[in-house]
Amino acid sequence: MNKNRSTWNCGFFLLLWPYGKEVKTNLGFFWPGCEKTAEHHEIHLKEFIQIKKLNHRITEVENSGENQFTAFLVVDESEMIPVRDALKPNRGEGYEV
């Protein structure tokens, strides 16, 4: 495994943390037409940032493949546990800002 990459999955935790103090929390959607669902969830992620007054303001929707979209939120490592518990993301990984 690449030591510069950190990741954890929905079993929380396969946790490897050699780089970055930021965590990208991923909410994955895997069905035909799920792009609109991911875009809708990004709206809620932005609301969550404002309500919780999180340090980062990074959200995005990524196309992960055919019929696969991910809405993600980047948080500081110190905020990761409460965010994980509140949002229950599918997966997370280290993120370089």
Within-domain flag for 32:
yes
Within-domain flag for 84:
no
Residue 84, CA distances (Å) to 17, 53, 65 in order: 16, 15, 24
* Residue 19 pLDDT grade (very low, low, confident, very high; cuts 50, 70, 90): low
For the segment 36-64, what is each residue's pLDDT rounded down to a tens digit? 999 999 999 999 999 999 988 899 999 98
Within-domain flag for 82:
no
Within-domain flag for 50:
yes
pTM, rounded to two decimals: 0.78
Domain count of the chain? 1
* Residue 5 pLDDT grade (very low, low, confident, very high; cuts 50, 70, 90): very low
Domain extent for 66: 28-71
48 — phi, psi (to 5°)? -60, -45
Within-domain flag for 41:
yes
Per-residue confidence (pLDDT) for residue 20, from 0 to 100: 56
Higher pLDDT, 62 or 17: 62
Distance CA 78, CA 83 (A): 10
Within-domain flag for 8:
no
Within-domain flag for 78:
no
Q: How many residues does the chain have?
A: 97
Within-domain flag for 56:
yes
Spatial neighbors of 15 by CB under 8 A, at least 6 apart, are 6, 8
Stated as kind and residue range, the H or E segment containing 61 is: strand 59-65
Name residue 60's beta-bridge partners: 72
Residue with tokens 């999955």: 9
The predicted model gives 70-85 an average pLDDT of 94
CA gyration radius for the chain? Answer: 13
